[in-house]
Amino acid sequence: MRNPLSQKVTSIAPSGIRKFFDVVSEMPDAISLGVGEPDFDTPWRIREEGIYSLERGKTFYTSNAGLKELKIEICKYLDRKVNVQYDYNSEVIVTVGGSEGIDIALRAMLDPGDEVLIPQPSYVSYLPCTVLADGVPVPIPLQEKNEFKLTAEELEAAITPKTKILVMPFPNNPTGSIMTREDLEPVVEVVKKHDLFVISDEIYSELTYGEKHVSIASFEGMKERTILINGFSKGFAMTGWRLGYACGPKEIISQMVKIHQYAIMCAPTNSQYAAVEALRNCDEEVQEMVEAYNQRRRFLVHEFKRMGLKCFEPFGAFYIFPSIQEFGMTSEEFATRFLQEEKVAVVPGSAFGDCGEGFLRISYAYSIEDLKVALERFERFIMRLRSEK
């Protein structure tokens, strides 16, 4: 029999997180700091709206690019939150999570051999999605001393004549790093100078602490060259609803709609109705969640500092990214031993790119009570490691 598989697909390494997940699932009594989704239930008024849409028999396809009402609300929301103005009719597509937006943006923009710059550590799907779209992924290793922000120098150094797209993953999973307006300015200059396009993954935009999120699309001349990706999973605690969106120039969005229409048809109808309510009436609920995350963030920063663990203060998403280099083992070894000895799951930093080696991703999408139990075990574990040395 012939090989049924595509070489392109088999060449892609399985996610490092997946590997770890398989180990954890063998340990039913393990607790976790490894989750990349909110611990909050979707606010009730959003769920109620989803239920109501079912009662009204909203069980059919919507138009390919999404429900008109929702697209209008998305435009109002982006205007209000990041001060970027989109035309709902031609510059917005509603997708199955932010993930689909990333996938179809890359597929709509890449020709074979085009290079995509991917700052790392970052979310696990940019690289394989680039490969699947026949692009060439070029990781940019970010540095702890810059708090894992992208600098203009790092960007400039990675650019070749084949570079077409820069992925901007901020607020960042796994580091919790954010890019302020001042941080973005020099990057924007380089992007314009080299005529690059940007896929800006802003799925954690609601979750910043202190400074409000700034979209790279809000800089002059950047809306024309940016696909802004966002969604409902993180800010509105709606992971399972699978709903996101992409906004950008008409000519790119219309090609993305074409792929989406052939591959997906449309995003789930009930999720779209529920999301209208999320954007219209849930500022308060979101604010409450942000306050809770912020308290946990302060708690973790304080605790790690007390334990003498090297860690920069993150201001976005719900992750903290401490260094474990002092223990002289790889992130994976550390995470595996921690799981075996203390039954707590954390994700090795290396799952998010080679430069994540030496770090751990700790999620604070947990109650303070849960965090306390896990941190007690963490402290016991590192004390043991220190005494072994």
Partner 1 sequence: MRKQILKYIEKKSKVDLGELAVLLGTDEVTVANEIAAMENEKIICGYHTLIDWDKAGVESVSALIEVRVTPQRNQGFDRIAERIYNYPEVNAVYLISGGYDLLVTLEGKTLKEISLFVSEKLSPIEAVVGTATHFIMKKYKDHGTILVKKSGSERMLVTP
> Interface residues with partner 1 (CB under 8 A)?
15, 17, 20-21, 24-25, 30, 32, 34-37, 39, 123-125, 173, 291, 294-296, 298-299, 302, 345, 347, 351, 368
Q: Are 285 and 43 in contact (CB under 8 A)?
A: yes
Closest approach of partner 1 to the CB of residue 194, in Å: 30
Smallest distance from the beta carbon of 57 to partner 1, in angstroms?
27
Choice between 14 and 328, CB closer to partner 1: 14
Residue 34 to residue 87: CA distance in whole angstroms: 38
The minimum distance between CB 116 and partner 1, in angstroms, equals 19
Residue pair 378/66 in contact (Cβ under 8 Å)? The answer is no
Compare residues 142 and 344 and give the one whose CB is closer to partner 1.
344
CB of 87 to partner 1, least distance (A): 33
User: Distance (Å, rounded) from C-alpha 30 to C-alpha 148?
Assistant: 30
Q: How far is the CB of 288 from partner 1 (least distance, A)?
A: 9
d(C-alpha 165, C-alpha 106), whole Å? 9
Q: Least distance from C-beta 124 to partner 1, angstroms?
A: 5
Sort strands 347-348 and 344-345 into parallel, antiparallel or unpaired.
Answer: unpaired
Q: Whole-angstrom Cα distance, residue 361 to residue 341?
A: 18
Residues 319-340: b if buried by 16+ CB within 10 A, e if exposed: bbbbbbeebeeebbebbeebbe
> How many angstroms separate the Cα of 262 from the Cα of each of 98, 103, 160?
18, 14, 33
